[in-house]
Amino acid sequence: MTPPSPAGTRRTRRRPHPLPRRRHSRAPWWLLSPAGLVMLTVTAAPIVFLIYTSFTDYNQRSLFTGAYRLVGTAQYAALLTDPQFWHALERSVLFTAAMVVGSIAVGTAVAQLLTRLATPMRTTVTLVLILAWAMPTVASSLVWKWLFQPGYGVVNWLLTRTHLFGDMTNTDWANDPFLAYLSIWLLIVWQAVPFIALTLYAALTQLPLELQEAARLDGAGEWRLWWSITLPFLRPTLLLVSLMSVIWDFNVFNQIWLVSAGGPDSATTTLGIFAYKTAFVGFRVGQGAALSVITTAILVAITALYIRNLLRSGEDL
């Protein structure tokens, strides 16, 4: 017990010592500033310049004289009334859908195969997939074009040896619209499968085995097991890789330009090829910039739709 205080004296309470104020250090900002400057230089500044150029009549004359005029939305109006733009947009949408469906289907099958392989074989297949994915698109596109060359192409020789389609030795794939699309489709799917397969395989390794065992005890077959358990579990990952595939495939340029250059007769001219021809072949740089802005707006809308659905699914959970 504390002794009673003497009469006439007051008990004073000690005030707690105030905590020292935190000083906001500027060191993190200084450390992040180099990366921020790089991002502004290589990302933000070109986008701003691209949008600005889309409102001008920048053309071949401007490249030499530097003179150009602001024309407002005239470039966009000209594009929206140009039948070639709508044909290129239609090709881009259909070709992107075909590439995404093919890539996801083959990638899912390869991912499922990896779960059933023994460790040595799975390691070998994984290394092969990584090497295929790491190959530069320009190098792989040139090699792919050589494989389908008329006269000495390996693919033409193999198809001729099988006698399934007759003599295809001198078949020029790039000069036939269907064959050009088929060769480019095979190339892009081959390049996209490794990333999709490895991503889906990583998701499959997190699938609880208890769910599969319970379904098998209930008499579910392999197909029913995959449809009712595996596919719902993979849905978020499938949506993610599908969105990334749409963005990548919608912007495909190297493969189409190096294999067919948008031909024959503009049959493989997608929005990317059309923008390149407009800006750097026809030297209508302003209109090419407007094309790029429209393409970016389409991809932003697709991404926004995906994020909205993702947030909704999170709220439902």
The domains found in the chain, sorted by start residue, are 57-316 (1.10.3720.10)
pLDDT reported for residue 19: 55
Assess whether pLDDT exceeds 60 at residue 11.
no
Work out the pLDDT band at 202, boundaries 50, 70, 90: very high
Task: Name the residue with tokens 């995959």.
Answer: 226
pLDDT reported for residue 89: 93
Taking residues 196-218, what's their average pLDDT? 87
- Token pair for 110: 């390869």
Across the chain, what does the average pLDDT equal? Answer: 86
Taking residues 198-226, what's their average pLDDT? 84
d(CA 120, CA 135): 23
Q: For 4, left (φ over 0), alpha (ψ -120 to 50), or beta? A: beta
Q: Would you say 238 and 200 are in contact if contact means Cβ atoms under 8 Å apart?
A: yes
Higher pLDDT pick, 164 / 14: 164
Between the alpha carbon of residue 172 and those of residues 115, 175, 190, 296, the distances in Å are: 40, 6, 21, 34
Q: Would you say 106 and 189 are in contact if contact means Cβ atoms under 8 Å apart?
A: yes
Question: Where does the chain show beta strands of DSSP type E?
Answer: none
Assess whether pLDDT exceeds 70 at residue 3.
no
User: Which of 36-50, 223-237, 278-292 has the largest mean confidence?
Assistant: 278-292
Q: Would you say 117 and 271 are in contact if contact means Cβ atoms under 8 Å apart?
A: no
Assess whether pLDDT exceeds 50 at residue 21.
yes
d(CA 317, CA 311): 10
Within 10 Å of residue 90's Cβ, how many Cβ atoms? 12
pLDDT reported for residue 4: 54
Within 10 Å of residue 217's Cβ, how many Cβ atoms? 8
Sign of CA dihedral 68, 70, 76, 82: negative
pTM of the model: 0.82
DSSP assigned state of 135 = S
Convert 53-84 to b/e letters by CB count within 10 Å (16 or more is b).
bbbbbbbeebeeeeebeebeebbbeebeeeee
Between the alpha carbon of residue 52 and those of residues 71, 75, 213, 290, 313, the distances in Å are: 11, 12, 59, 9, 38
Work out the pLDDT band at 6, boundaries 50, 70, 90: low
Taking residues 129-150, what's their average pLDDT? 91
Per residue in 46-96, pLDDT (tens digit) is 889 999 999 999 988 888 888 889 999 999 999 999 999 999 999 999 999
Sign of CA dihedral 53, 58, 63, 68: negative
Q: Would you say 70 and 84 are in contact if contact means Cβ atoms under 8 Å apart?
A: no
DSSP assigned state of 17 = P
Q: Of the ranges 20-24, 41-45, 270-274, which one carries the lowest mean pLDDT score?
A: 20-24
Task: Name the residue with tokens 């997608």.
Answer: 270
pLDDT reported for residue 288: 93
